[in-house]
A and B are shown apart, each in its own frame.
Chain A
Amino acid sequence: MNKTLLKIIIISIVVIILLYGFSDSYYANNITNISYVTALGIDLSEDEKNLKVTFEFMDVSQFSQNASSSEGAPILDTVTANSINSAINILDAYIGKQANLSHCKIVIFSDKVAQKGITSEITELMNNIQIRPSTNIVVCECEALEYLKNSTSALDKIITKYYDFFPNSSIYTGYTSDVTIGNFYNSLLSENYGNIAILGGVIPIVESESSSGGGQSSSEQSGSSQFEGEQSSSEQSSGNSENSSEENKNFENITPTTIVSDNVPIEGERGSVSIGIAVFKEDKYIGKLTALESLCHAILTDEVKTFTISIDNPEFYPIYIDLSLFHNVDNIIDIKIVDDTPIININTQFKGKVLGTKDDNETYKNLDINEISNASSKYLEKILNDYVNKTSSEFNCDINNFYNYAKKNFLTNDDWKNFDWSSKYKNAKFNINVKSDISFNLFGSEH
């Protein structure tokens, strides 16, 4: 036989074998056979034995050139199953496509699920190669389904954009934390230390003027256009809207020390809020941090870079004052073990500017910058001390990862394990030293 002919035959056979072998993967991964999940919500079923897993999809046809609106409408489908993987299987059969989690931006657990412990769910998700380690993890003080239904607003036309950017606010407010599933899983494996997640909640939606003009509230609109998969969603959302005026809270006494996702002084078109931090001991949700406590967490973990504080306590400074602080130098944390008690020394420093004051007597004309710096340092020392004491005495878990610094005192893993940091942390003593260097922004520079 001709040599060239033989080569052609062999090449043809090889190509046919490879085409045959890889065709299954081609069909499985073909974009027409895939539905991309943008968010995952996990609730407990009514009997509390199963999981109610809600999948949020984007209607990608909304992004086509011929689409009249740029707003992508999320579609929600809820499946009750034993586990996330079995829910995915059932969903695949229901939608006739393969649900793909590679674009999943956020995983939301309801507080009830989180309180029972989420090791198995997190492990399931981490074992799914499609889930990115950068996927954010949220615990909401309501049903995860409700959080998802209320996660769109006029400001964020495309929901995935909102999911992409909202955790970034931790860098310039400190009121939440950019907790990813990768970091959560790593902490979960770190032997009984604390863990955190973003804390979410839902507030009543308020009618906007533009939408109420047409006699339809924004939430009603969202109910009819956004949640095609669920009839109940529109009912829920409109219900929120109707109740908004009744539930309008008295915001006068709300300060960062009390603000948390289910108690926020916000009236807006988006129902979901992510302020505060959910605290886990091992894999169980045990408590939450308010906005101010979350800021303290962000300061101690060097997550926040710039933030605003308001000193409204004569104990620190005679008049109300707003300061913008920059946290550009990493904290110096040193831990000594004395008689089996961890002594945690924290040195942190800030630069800042005076943003404004509230003073009827115009004493701002006589502001003393050194006094303001001292007041800022004392105030921060106080809130940081309150915060770390809360983590050690109330939560009894090291959510600031101080153990990373404590490990330096031990030579081997056996020594470290024998010390049993998780039980010693509750007796830890904290020495916090804050140095603030405040200057004037635009006014009062002559002083």
Chain B
Amino acid sequence: MDKLTNKEATFLIILLITNVVILVACQAVVEDCSSSSLINGIFVSVIAIIITWIMCILLKKFGGMNLLDISEFLGGKFLKSLVGTIFLIYFLFTTVILLCKISDALQVVYYSSTSLIFILFMFIIAGGILVSFNNKSIYKANLIFLPITIIAILLIFVGNYKSFHFSNIFPILGNGVNSTFISGITNLFAFNGISIIYFLPSKLKDPSKITKISIIAMLISSLLFITCIAIILLMFNNNLVSSQIFPIYLAVRYIEFGSFFQRLDSAFLLFRVISFLGFLAVNTDLSLDIFKNVTNLSDSKPLIAPFMLLIFSATLFIRSNFSLDLFQHTIFKILFFAIVLAAGFTILILANIKKRRVE
């Protein structure tokens, strides 16, 4: 695979974060923190940037090695396989949750007469085709579609300005100091996309630029995260956040520029679907890459169909048997903290200590 340029890598991180933010995270933040959501958003963003910076410092010592290579250095093949499997499950899990969310929204809005299976099937086929192309094409396409998503979010903010109730930020501490700053720290899961940073060095043309790439991506993502929270909080407070459809879509329905530019929600949903396909393809590609690395396969292309089938089945299983709320909030947060922060950081810190001793 061709290596990624700095721009492609930056956009890749933003893509992963914005999808989680729009579909799941900003809703969760406003639900948890109510009127203090903006403070929590800023607080969480600052912590996420600090975490990213530390992560980059820890990774930098290993040059172009990704987390799997570092695990192998630390604990041999066994640890590499273990870490690979855990992250593989994590990436598939995030893909499945977001696929559930966007399929649900599409079904409610446009395809109420169509079974969810067919909507999922459409995504799976489109995602499979994207992954089967040359890997670089996904990242290059992202350079076009991500800016559209970013502009769309900023337009939603500007377009809804008249509907904002700025007093919704009061009482300033919302549900209290605990929910804003202590339990509120769990909202870090919005930045679940930082997990890709562990695997980025081996994909970069210039791995030494990882800090710059990551920090720029985090700054832009934080801005989008705070903007999304502001839109929901200032428009709905915490009234509509338990909606089945992601609230940013509901916010778009309020935008009317005169009597001509109305119903911009259709356009937004179209770009949302395209952006999500990018997310689906990137996450699947990453999962395949990890699997290939762990199993020492020479080519992962024959595995695209089984992986897509796995995502399809897992999505159907979750939708049929469980409440999505449990997965998108509680389990998502637990997995993020356990795998991305706890496991990832432990390996990096131990590997750094080992490297220092070896040197």
Contact with A along B205-248 (1 / 0, CB 8 A): 00000000000000000000000000000001101100001000
Is the CB of A404 closer than 8 A to any CB of chain B? yes
Q: What's the tally of chain B residues with a CB closer than 8 Å to chain A? A: 39
> What's the least CB distance linking A27 to chain B, in Å?
8
Which of B46-54, B66-74, B89-97, B106-114 lies at the binding interface? Answer: B106-114
Q: Report A192 CB to chain B, min CB distance, Å.
A: 14
**In the complex, are the beta carbons of B167 and A186 less than 8 A apart?**
no
Of A24, A129, A182, A412, which is within 8 A of B114 by CB? A24
- Complex Cα spacing A405 to B166, Å: 10
Contact across chains for B118 and A22 when beta carbons are under 8 A apart: yes
Checking B170, B250, B259 against A410 with a beta-carbon cut-off of 8 angstroms, the contacting residue is: B170
* Chain B residues closer than 8 Å to A27, beta-carbon distance: 113
Interface residues of A in 391-417 (CB under 8 A from B): 404-405, 407-408, 410-416
Closest CB of chain A to B160's CB: distance in Å?
11
The answer to whether the Cβ of B122 comes within 8 Å of any Cβ in the partner chain is: yes
Known: A134-B254, A405-B167, A407-B171. A413 touches B35 (CB 8 A): yes
Would you call B287 an interface residue if the criterion is a C-beta within 8 Å of the partner chain's C-beta atoms?
Answer: no
CB distance from B259 to the nearest CB of A (A): 6
A11 to B223, CA, bound (A): 42
Asked if A412 and B111 sit within 8 Å, CB to CB, the answer is no
Task: Find out whether the CB atom of B34 lies under 8 angstroms from the CB atom of A413.
Answer: yes
CB distance from A122 to the nearest CB of B (A): 13
Cβ 8 A contact of B121, one of A21, A28, A182, A189? A21
Question: Is there a chain A Cβ closer than 8 Å to B172's Cβ?
Answer: yes
When the two chains form their complex, are residues A18 and B113 in contact, meaning their CB atoms are under 8 A apart? no
How distant is B124 from chain A, measured CB to nearest CB, in Å? 10
Q: Are B165 and A25 in contact (CB under 8 A)?
A: no
Given contacts A22-B114, A25-B111, A164-B259, contact A404 B122 (CB under 8 A): no
Tell me which residues from 1 to 33 in chain A have a Cβ below 8 Å from any Cβ of chain B: 14, 17-18, 20-22, 24-25, 27-29
* B76-99 Cβ-contact flags toward A at 8 Å (1 or 0): 000000000000000000000000
Q: Hey, which chain A residues are within 8 Å of B171, CB to CB?
A: 407, 410-413, 415-416
Closest beta carbon of chain A to B242's beta carbon, Å: 11
Which residues of chain B are near A221, meaning CB under 8 Å?
A: none
Q: Are A408 and B167 in contact (CB under 8 A)?
A: yes
A186 near B122 with CB under 8 A, answer: no
Are B113 and A24 in contact (CB-based, < 8 A)? yes
- The answer on a CB contact under 8 Å between A21 and B118 is yes
CA distance A416 to B108 in the complex (A): 36
CB distance from A46 to the nearest CB of B (A): 34
B127 interface contact, C-beta 8 A: no
Name B148-176 residues within 8 Å CB distance of A: 163, 165, 167-168, 170-176
| A190: interface (CB < 8 Å) | yes
Residues on the B chain within 8 Å of A24, using CB: 113-114
Q: Does B141 contact A (CB under 8 A)?
A: no
B236 close to A186 (CB less than 8 A): yes
Question: Are B114 and A186 in touch, CB under 8 angstroms?
Answer: no
- Are B125 and A14 touching (Cβ within 8 A)? yes
Which chain B residue lies CB-closest to A19?
B118
Most buried by B among A134, A407, A413, A415: A413
Q: Please give, as numbers and ranges, the residues of chain A lying within 8 Å of B168 by CB-CB distance.
A: 404
Whether A18 and B112, one on each chain, are in contact in the complex, defined by CB atoms closer than 8 angstroms, is no
> Are A411 and B118 interface neighbours, CB within 8 A?
no
B325 within 8 A of A: no
Say yes or no: is B253 at the interface (Cβ < 8 Å to chain A): yes
- Taking a contact as CB atoms under 8 Å apart, the answer to whether B167 and A407 are in contact is yes
> Residue B115 at the A interface, CB < 8 A?
yes
CB-based nearest B residue for A168:
B259
A-chain residues with CB within 8 Å of residue B167 when the two chains form the complex: 404-405, 407-408
Minimum C-beta distance from A123 to chain B (A): 12
Of the A-B pairs whose beta carbons lie under 8 Å apart in the complex, a sample of 16, sorted by A's number, is A14-B125, A18-B122, A20-B118, A21-B114, A29-B110, A129-B245, A133-B254, A134-B254, A134-B262, A185-B239, A189-B239, A404-B167, A408-B167, A412-B171, A413-B34, A413-B176
Query: Which 9 A-B residue pairings sit nearest by Cβ, starting from the closest?
Result: A21-B118, A404-B167, A407-B170, A24-B113, A189-B239, A28-B113, A25-B111, A410-B171, A25-B114
Extra A-B contacts (18), CB below 8 Å, given A25-B110, A185-B239, A412-B173: A14-B125, A21-B119, A29-B113, A129-B108, A132-B263, A133-B253, A134-B254, A186-B237, A186-B239, A404-B167, A404-B168, A407-B35, A407-B170, A408-B170, A410-B170, A411-B171, A411-B172, A413-B174
